[in-house]
Structures are given as structure tokens and as C-alpha cells.
Amino acid sequence: MRRTVLLAAVFVALSCFALPPWSRASVSLTPAGDGHVTVPAFVDGKGPYAFIVDTGADGSAVYQWFAQAAKLPRASSGGETLTGMTGSFSSSAYRLRSLGVDGHAVSDVEVDVLPNRRDRGHEAGVIGNDFMDGTITVFDFACRRIEIRSRSAASSIAAEDGPAVRAGRAGDTSLLQFPVTLNGVRGTAVLDTGDRASKINTSYARLAGIDPAAGTFSDAAPVFGADDKPIVPRFGPIGRVQFGGITLDGVRAQVANVAIVTQLFGEKPVLWLGADLLQHVRVVYDHHADRVWFGRSACAGDDST
């Protein structure tokens, strides 16, 4: 079986212990030393361990070092094929009795295992869309926190934050896509809070009048996907980006053709929207209903959007 995801994919058999309707949790975002930010998570009642909260992952996952250190039991399914930034690979599977983040937990979770990171990060794993399906998750990078709310709070969020962006699923994945314009050229954005660096494909660069071979661009650090094969994006100015009522001027981002984008969209213009372009944006994420709200963070400076 194959799943198309950025970081991980899982088979999940879970029961959800959601927050009561009146309750709201908030956890701090902590720098991981590699450009990611993490939240404290509990695995099988132990922890906390540093996990990335990732809208670009179909399901929650753990890194190989953590699976070994925690002596996680192997799952009966044996794993599956995953597709990441740079290609596909086969992963083994393990089973967790529970996975929790401050007030919300899922139980009986089967996770695939990711290769250990090559950078300075020492994250234990990834919280994916399987976990967030039972919540409304509020990302506020400027305020350095994530709030986890009950899905019953959706009506109050609609009143508080205004109209939502109606998103669709990207291909056969659980990732959410929505309209974006780059220098006035319409394309598709995919929300990926687990990606440190936003990327456009070369098709979008060409349509938006961007030349990644120009002197204003330079080679970015190699990107090692889950299959451990590197690509080298070009990094430089791409101009004005607009999505969900947000306008960002003077944006700098990477230009690269990565495997996941090509597999899902072919040559269509795509912005893979990562955490770097969300640093001043408050994101309310209702994955179950395919809705996202974008607004200005209360902690952002005057020139943020």
C-alpha cells in the first residue's frame, strides 16, 4: 500500500478522547535547534518528548532512534511505502498504546518510522492529521504557541475569525490545498506547518516571472527527504504572495521540483506553504471539515502583513 505524504504516513485505528466543549489547551512552541519548533508530547503515558505538529503529514510518526530507545513493539501490518520530498521508500511500522498533547489523546495508533534526521534536530516524532482530525488546532508562531480546541468550538471560531477558507484534499492525501496568487498569478497552495522553508515549483516560478538562475538567487542547503536522497533548491526573492486574506510582500522562498509536488500536481503552479511564511500569521486549522482561517497574529509587528 502507498500513501503520499511529506514526512510520514500511518494506518490508524484510534479512539479519540476529545477535550470537553468548554475547554481549551495551549502548549508552547520550543525551538528544536534545526529550524523546526516542537511541542511536548506523551507516548504510552511517558514523556514529554519533542514532536513537530505537521499539517503536511497524513499521520503521526516517530523517528528511528526514538522507536529503538522507547522499545516500541512492531505492528502486525509490517509497514508501507511512503512518498516524501525527494522520493519514495519502504517503512516499518510500530504500535503506540497512546499519543497525547496537552489535553487531547489518541489511542491504539500504528505509526511508520522515519529515518533519523541529518541536521541538529533531535525530535522524537511528528503529530499528523490523524491526531488533529479530532480537534481544531490553532497555530500562532509569532506568539510561540499552539492551542488545541474541541471541534465543538467551530461555531465560536467562525464568529471570532470570520469566513474560513474552504480547502480541498491534495490528491489521495489528507493534506489541504487552497487558492494562492504569486505576483498576481493564480496557483495552488498546500499547507505544511512541518516544512521550515516554503517552496514553489519551477512551473510557478516561470509563470510568475521568477528566474531562479538570476544572481539574486543562491543554492539553499540540501533537502534530505525521508528517502535520504538530497535535492538542492534555489533560494531568493519571489515577490508578493496572497492567500486567505493575507498579503505578504518581499517574500523570499525556495524554488525546487520536489517529488511530492510533482506526484500530486504534475506541472501545475504550486506553492508548498511552510512555517517560514506563517511567522506573523494566526492559522486556525479544522482538518476534519477541510477549513482553514488565516489572520494576523496578535504578537506580530506592524509590518507583518
Question: At residue 41, does pLDDT exceed 70?
Answer: yes
User: Residues 187-223: pLDDT tens digits?
Assistant: 999 999 999 999 999 999 999 999 999 999 999 998 8
**Cα(199)–Cα(196) distance, integer angstroms:** 10
Could you tell me if 224 and 256 lie in one domain?
A: yes
In which residue are the cell numbers 511508520 written?
112
- Which residues does 62 contact at the CB level (< 8 Å), separation at least 6? 43, 70, 72, 94, 111, 113, 114, 124, 125, 126
Same domain, 140 and 173: no
- 279 is a domain residue: yes
Confidence tier at 89 by pLDDT (50, 70, 90)? low
301, part of any domain: no
> Among 138-147, 158-167, 170-179, 266-275, where is mean pLDDT lowest?
158-167
pLDDT value at position 103?
79
Structural domain boundaries enclosing 74: 2-158
**Which pLDDT does position 65 carry in this prediction?**
94
Q: What is the pTM of this model?
A: 0.87
3-state percent breakdown (helix, strand, coil) of the chain, nearest 5: 10, 45, 40
CA dihedral 136, 140, 145, 146 (to 10 degrees): 10
- Do residues 60 and 89 share a domain? yes
At residue 115, the pLDDT reads 84
Considering the domain architecture, whether residues 188 and 140 belong to the same structural domain is answered as: no
DSSP letters, 233-265, are -EEEEEEEEEETTEEEEEEEEEE---HHHHHHH
Q: Residues 153-192: pLDDT tens digits?
A: 777 776 678 889 999 999 999 999 999 999 999 999 999 9
Q: Based on the domain organization, do 104 and 45 belong to the same domain?
A: yes
What digits encode the pLDDT tens for the residues 286-299? 999 999 999 999 99
Instruction: Kindly report which listed range (49-53, 130-134, 252-256) carries the lowest average pLDDT score.
Output: 130-134
Q: What is the pLDDT of residue 21?
A: 36
Q: How far from the centroid of its chain's Cα atoms is residue 298's Cα?
A: 22
Number of domains in the chain: 2
- Say if 50 falls within a structural domain: yes
Boundary-marking domain end, from 99, 126, 158: 158
- Residue at a domain's end among 158, 180, 209: 158
111 and 7 fall within a common domain? yes
**10: CATH:** 2.40.70.10
What pLDDT is attached to residue 81?
56
pLDDT band at 9 (very low <50, low <70, confident <90, very high): very low
* 192 belongs to a structural domain: yes
Q: 114, 135, 158 — which closes off a domain?
A: 158
Residue 302 lies in a domain: no
My answer on whether 154 and 19 are in the same domain is yes
pLDDT of the residue at 23: 40
Q: Does a structural domain hold residue 276?
A: yes
Look over the chain and give the mean of its residue pLDDT values, rounded to a whole number: 85
Residues 130 and 180 reside in one and the same domain: no
Same domain, 292 and 191: yes
